[in-house]
Homo-oligomer: A and B are copies of this chain.
């Protein structure tokens, strides 16, 4: 049928790719300091084109946050493979987290959500909602794996999976903040290892 053909001039860009490029700008500068000119230059799209396709700056930022959230959930799901022991799951989560947090053309940039959405959360309710929902979803994914671990005897019988999941997330939040503040890879890796050790005392 003609459902793929649409009247009008065809787009010259892939929406997903543009959101990724915008994310790079927001990740470096934060939402408020990232100007439309910055975004225009990074995406190679003029401002009316950005507005036409993505709405205003906040909407583009929200799209970028949601994209990062989805990718993070994918990474989490992979690291939490139930075929692996829990210690390995946690080690993989932190390893992958550090890969993300320590990459960056100019400097280690930490977690996109924690580094940029926190600053905007009070003045922009929708940003706050995405931040809160994302953090809770990450907690939830880890908590499910913890429940399985408890049932398998990988955790002490009196362990509370939801609480341990939150502590495991706490280590990740701390890694995010520290990476952005400039801590070394060695320091961050040591924190990750000790996080695994303290959350999974059984070997």
A interface residues with partner B (beta carbon < 8 Å): 28-33, 104, 106-107, 109-110, 114-123, 128-129, 131-132, 135, 160, 163-164, 166-167, 169-171, 173-174, 177-178, 180-183, 190-191, 194-195, 198-199
Evaluate whether A132 and B181 lie within 8 angstroms (CB atoms) in the complex, with A118-B118, A119-B118, A190-B163 already known.
Answer: yes
Q: How many copies does the complex hold?
A: 2
Asked whether A118 and B110 contact (CB < 8 A) given A167-B198, A173-B173, A198-B199, the answer is yes
Once bound together, how far apart are the Cα atoms of A172 and B191, in whole Å? Answer: 14
In the complex, are the beta carbons of A118 and B114 less than 8 A apart?
Answer: yes
A28 close to B167 (CB less than 8 A): no
Asked if A194 and B122 sit within 8 Å, CB to CB, the answer is no
Contacts of A160 in B (CB 8 A): 194
> Are A169's CB and B174's CB within 8 A?
yes
Given A116-B119, A167-B191, A170-B171: A181 and B30 within 8 A (CB)?
A: no
Please name 16 further chain A to chain B contacts, defined as beta carbons within 8 Å, in addition to the given A131-B180, A163-B194, sorted by A numbering. Answer: A30-B30, A30-B119, A33-B123, A107-B122, A115-B121, A118-B119, A118-B177, A135-B181, A163-B190, A164-B194, A166-B174, A166-B191, A170-B173, A170-B195, A173-B173, A177-B177
